[in-house]
Amino acid sequence: MQGKKDFKEKLHNLLVRWKIGLFMRNAVPRSIQVTILISFTVVALVCMLGMGIALYERFLVRSERMLTESAQLTLDQTVLNLEVYLRNMRRMSDAIYYNVIKDQDMNVSSPIEQMDFLYEANKDYLTSLALYTEEGELLSASPVGVEKPGVDVTEQNWFKRALSRPENLHFSLPHVQNIFVDDPTFRYYWVISLSRAVELGGRGVPEQGVLLVDMNYAVIEQMMEGVNDNTNKSYVYLCDSLGNIIYHPMLMQIAAGLYNENSAAAASYDDGSIKEKFMGDNRIVTVKTMSYTGWKLVSVIPGSNPYYGMKDIRYFVIMVLSITLLAMLILNRMVANRVTRPITMLNNSIMEIEMGRSDPAVYIGGPSEIEHLGRTLKSSYEQIERLMKDMVESQEEKRKSELDALQSQINPHFLYNTLDSIVWMIEGEKYDDAVFMITQLASLFRVSLSGGKTIIPIEDEIRHAGNYMNIQKVRFKDAFTVTFDIDERIKNLCTVKLIVQPILENAVYYGVKDMEDGEISVRGFLGDDGDVYIRVSDNGFGMSGEETALLLTDNSRVRKKGSGVGLINVQRRIQLRFGQQYGLVIESEPDEGTSVTIHLPAIECNEENRKMLESGRESESEG
Amino acid sequence: MKGRNLFIMIVSALLIVMLTASTSALILSGIAENPTRVCVVVEDSGSGRWTSFTAGLEQAAKDMGVKLTVLPTTRNQTLSQQYAQMNEAISDGADGIILQACGSSKTENMISDISSKAVLVLIDGEVDTDVDVEGKSACIEPDNLEIGRALANEVRTALGNDLTGYSIGIVAGNQRRSSNIQRLNGFMENIESSGAEILWMDNSRINTVDKIRTAQTERTADILVALDNDGLESVCEYVLQDELSPYIFGEGTSIKNVSYIDDGLINSMVVPNEYYMGYQSIAAIAERMDNRLTPMQNEMISYRIVNRDNLFDESNQRVLFPVVE
């Protein structure tokens, strides 16, 4: 059961494979030229793709490295500029504190003049300078000294941070300055507040205060805008150590919810470059931490950056690939054409032969193998042509021989003589003889016709010979005797019709006609080799060896007597039907007599064999 | 033979197409495309109320490679003047128009004509249009009805839910514009049940300060509500000039109004995210230019309520003070 199932599965698999194979064979052109063309092109394409991918990867890595290095250089430079700016701000804060505030008696004088002086000297970088007591009371400010009503600086982050960690200087996030009145200009300034706790002198007991330096945020913005002024989509932003954005070229979009930045993650990165995926975009992020503030300058090269994505390189690779493939296709076609041309020419020759064109020119040329094929084809073709010609000739000969034999059946002279004899018998009132003659003649013609058959049983052929001899005996007034000794076993075997009668005719006319005691014997028997032999012997005049030889070779001899159907005709008809090994054997001795032996194969005369022999297949197969 | 040639011809044709496409892409990638040109037609384009909006426009134009032109206009424009300006801009090569129509009715023909010639984005107020199945224009604006309601709510939050005994003067602005109509409807809807009396309403577009003064002289309202930025500025100017101290509420975006909040003049102000409105207007036009088959869609923008307490909140600073000086 299991075996049967396995067999079925195997059969099914084979069937599927065969169907796929059939489909592929139909789908893909199968000529040698296309095979060579496709093979060459595929090999070249694979090599090119391999090389292309390797080169592309190499370019990509190199490009990434260049971009990263460039980003790091930019960051280094920007950090340097920013640090210089921030250091200057710190120094100014130091200068105000150590040179002005610390030594100043606040009860006696205000540091306003010095602060105004410093503000004027640095007003491009500053928005305001202010000194507060620990309680948030404004001691001195430059350039504007009027606080907005209701402002409580002690609630502001920069103030709280300064007092919470008095040992440090503190940089705030960018914010709108909201301490001083600036009417009626309706202007608000974005600042970064640099605050520190200071010791106020001259007020009895040492007292703490807060010194505020509001740095102009526009300075940082200008610096960063300069860095971000490029045509590609990479950008640099600044955030603090917690990821709060200080500057971003798309800060407004971020505030409006149009864009997001991965600043919290960037703040956690160490200095250097890292690849990250943010909102579906693969990008290279380079981080540089600034000293003192801990701010992080972050360069972002998005995947859409034309240099990073190397879009142009991709186009270029596709272009080169297309050109090369096109060139390869043309070149490979030429090569394939050149290689397959002799085969194609030979194929064309075969196609000409197939189409039956007369005298086709078979191509002989190209490489030695093809040349050999051409020569072989040509010789085969010529051989086939020759065989065909022989076959046609043989068929023509067969037709002619049988026509001759047919003619012999209605030999007018024979018929006239026979009919004359019958008339003579009737006139002599020998009615029984006349009836016998007519009966024999009718039988003779019936066998001759045989319903148009060429192959008949030996029995019929012997009957025909008997009829003929009976007629001849009457005509020649029993000048000779005839004996028939036919083996019963051969009577139902096949023979070509009308082959015994011409031999008997010859025996009568050239052998015993003019003799007084002429004897003709017809003996049919199976030979030792199993073949059929029918021997016609007479005791006539015989002939010489030369004459005997000519009987079966000299077709030009003109017969003077009889039906005119020679032994050559009999020989040919036998050989055309049964093969060259069969035919006649003539033995003769002058004054001794002649013996003609018909050699036939032993083939039972049934309908199948008869049809086979009629169509000539026996002789072909024998041949 | 025929099949073989066809096969090779198809492969060759494919390769030629690839070659042409990649070569064109390579060449085109090096050539800057003609930028989309967008013209902006808004009333009184020089007004400070457009600062945030313009910042959004400019940023979007920079991001999307759009050439932006804000046409100079005055305060008291008419529809036909705007129509003429837009036609002129289109004949000068504008691909897109951003329009703040000065009236909302009888605009079908104008909108139909303009939107068939250029990509049209309407801001700050819908207008009458024919049926636009193709989505050739879109409106980007805040929910004006909600702004009106929010203003009423702010009044009630500041002064109590029951406003019986309080009187209100409304500076309703251009009531031919749907945005102002809707704001008024929203405000009236939510203030009705408070018991406050609406003393007067002013719809003037020019000399508004004088009109307010006249109205206040005749019947003095305790609460002044302005439904648009210009109206709110006018109310504040009137109050400053006459040294009065009514409660002031309104819608506004300009730095002047922000400053009035800072000064404690305005109690509460509704601020639409006009930066977003500007940015999205350009984005909508750029998107439509890229894909003409995609219909444009209306978009609502958010708003926030600002008062003196939250004026300098971190989240408000970028919206209220967009331009860094």
In a domain, A418, yes or no: yes
B276–A257 CB contact, under 8 Å: yes
> Are both A284 and A427 inside the same structural domain?
no
Residues of B in contact with A311 (CB under 8 A): 29
In a domain, A354, yes or no: no
Residues 113-172 of A with CB under 8 A from B: 148-150
Quick one: pLDDT at residue B182? 92
Residues of B in contact with A318 (CB under 8 A): 18, 21-22
The rounded percent of chain A whose pLDDT value lies above 70 is 89
pLDDT of B99 above 70: yes
pLDDT of A1 above 70: no
Q: How far is A181 from chain B (nearest CA, A)?
A: 9
pTM for the model stands at 0.64
Task: Identify the CA nearest to A319 among candidates B18, B9, B17.
Answer: B18
We report the CATH number of the domain holding residue A105 as 3.30.450.20
Q: Enumerate residues 6+ apart whose C-beta is below 8 A from A282.
A: A275, A276, A303
d(CA A15, CA B130): 67
Tens digits of per-residue pLDDT, B308-317? 889 888 888 8
Quick one: pLDDT at residue A23? 61
Task: Identify the CA nearest to B233 among candidates B214, B258, B211.
Answer: B258
Tens digits of per-residue pLDDT, B128-174? 676 666 778 889 999 999 999 999 999 999 999 898 999 999 999 88
Residues of A in contact with B229 (CB under 8 A): none
Of the candidates A150, A187, A256, the beta carbon closest to that of B275 is on: A256
Q: Distances in Å between the alpha carbon of B250 and those of B201, B269, B308?
A: 14, 5, 14
Q: How far apart are the first and last CA of chain A?
A: 53
**For chain B, which residues make up each domain, given as ranges?**
33-142+273-303, 144-251
> Are both A297 and A413 inside the same structural domain?
no
Residues of B in contact with A322 (CB under 8 A): 15-16, 18-19, 22
Q: Is B318 on the interface with A (CB under 8 A)?
A: yes
Class of domain B144-251: alpha beta
Q: Is B9 on the interface with A (CB under 8 A)?
A: no
A253–B59 CB contact, under 8 Å: yes
Residues of B in contact with A187 (CB under 8 A): 255, 325
End-of-domain residue from the set A255, A281, A301: A301
Asked if A167 and A192 count as a contact pair (C-beta separation under 8 A), the reply is: no
**Residue, of A261 and A109, whose pLDDT is higher:** A261
Tens digits of per-residue pLDDT, A87-146? 999 998 998 888 888 777 776 677 788 888 888 888 888 888 899 988 888 888 888 768
Q: What is the mean pLDDT of residues A212-230?
A: 89
Asked if B86 and B41 count as a contact pair (C-beta separation under 8 A), the reply is: yes
Buried/exposed A112-131: b ≥16 CB within 10 Å, e otherwise: bebbbebbeebeebbbbbbb
> Are both A415 and A289 inside the same structural domain?
no
* Chosen from A182, A188, A231 to mutate, greatest number of chain B CBs within 10 A: A188
Hey, do B33-142+273-303 and B144-251 end up sharing a CATH topology, with the first three levels equal?
yes
In a domain, A217, yes or no: yes
Q: What is the mean pLDDT of residues A183-197?
A: 83
Q: Is A341 on the interface with B (CB under 8 A)?
A: no
In a domain, A377, yes or no: no
Supply the mean pLDDT for chain A.
Answer: 83
In a domain, A358, yes or no: no
Of the candidates B12, B29, B324, the beta carbon closest to that of A315 is on: B29
Host domain of residue A107: 65-301
Give the A:B interface size as CB pairs under 8 Å: 106
d(CA A207, CA A203): 7
Asked if A458 and A492 count as a contact pair (C-beta separation under 8 A), the reply is: yes
Tens digits of per-residue pLDDT, B12-70? 888 889 889 888 888 877 676 688 899 999 988 888 888 889 989 998 998 888 999 99
We report the CATH number of the domain holding residue A545 as 3.30.565.10
pLDDT of A601 above 90: yes
Quick one: pLDDT at residue A21? 66
**Residue, of B32 and A353, whose pLDDT is higher:** A353
Tell me the pairing of strands A593-600 and A532-538: antiparallel
Asked if A153 and A207 count as a contact pair (C-beta separation under 8 A), the reply is: no
**Residue, of B7 and A552, whose pLDDT is higher:** A552
Residues 269-308 of B with CB under 8 A from A: 273, 275-276, 279
End-of-domain residue from the set A277, A301, A325: A301
Structure tokens at A429: 């009132």
| Residues forming beta bridges with residue A213, ordered by sequence position | A129, A194
**Position A185 confidence tier, pLDDT thresholds 50, 70, 90:** low
Residues of A in contact with B319 (CB under 8 A): 255-256
In a domain, A242, yes or no: yes
pLDDT of B224 above 90: yes
Quick one: pLDDT at residue A462? 92
Quick one: pLDDT at residue A180? 84
Quick one: pLDDT at residue A346? 85
Asked if B84 and B54 count as a contact pair (C-beta separation under 8 A), the reply is: no
Asked if B284 and B122 count as a contact pair (C-beta separation under 8 A), the reply is: no
Q: What is the mean pLDDT of residues A345-367?
A: 82
Task: Identify the CA nearest to B247 among candidates B214, B220, B210, B274.
Answer: B220
Q: Is B241 on the interface with A (CB under 8 A)?
A: no
Quick one: pLDDT at residue A565? 56
Residues of A in contact with B19 (CB under 8 A): 319, 322-323, 326
Asked if A276 and A265 count as a contact pair (C-beta separation under 8 A), the reply is: yes
**Residue, of A617 and A491, whose pLDDT is higher:** A491
Q: What is the mean pLDDT of residues A261-274?
A: 91
Is the bond into A143 cis (omega within 30 degrees of 0)? yes
pLDDT of A22 above 60: yes
pLDDT of A29 above 60: no
3-state class (DSSP) for residue A360: coil
Closest residue of chain B to A189, computed from CA coordinates? B325
The rounded percent of chain B whose pLDDT value lies above 70 is 94
| CB atoms closer than 10 angstroms to residue A4 | 8
Task: Identify the CA nearest to B214 among candidates B199, B226, B232.
Answer: B199
Q: How far is A215 from chain B (nearest CA, A)?
A: 12
d(CA B31, CA B24): 10
Residues of A in contact with B21 (CB under 8 A): 318
B275–A252 CB contact, under 8 Å: yes
Q: Is A189 on the interface with B (CB under 8 A)?
A: yes
> Are both A292 and A429 inside the same structural domain?
no
Q: How far is A207 from chain B (nearest CA, A)?
A: 30
Q: How far apart are the first and last CA of chain B?
A: 77
Q: What would you measure as the largest C-alpha separation in chain B, in angstroms?
A: 102
Tell me the pairing of strands B119-123 and B137-142: parallel
Quick one: pLDDT at residue B101? 85
Number of domains in chain A: 2
Residues 522-581 of A with CB under 8 A from B: none
Containing B66, the helix (H) or strand (E) segment is: strand B66-70
Is the bond into A342 cis (omega within 30 degrees of 0)? no
B276–A256 CB contact, under 8 Å: yes
Residues 233-272 of A with CB under 8 A from B: 250-253, 255-258
Arch. (CATH architecture) of B33-142+273-303: 3-Layer(aba) Sandwich (3.40)
Closest residue of chain B to A29, computed from CA coordinates? B4
Q: Enumerate residues 6+ apart whose C-beta is below 8 A from B192.
A: none
pLDDT of B325 above 60: no
Q: Enumerate residues 6+ apart whose C-beta is below 8 A from B199.
A: B167, B168, B169, B215, B219, B220, B221
Closest residue of chain B to A323, computed from CA coordinates? B19
End-of-domain residue from the set A252, A276, A301: A301
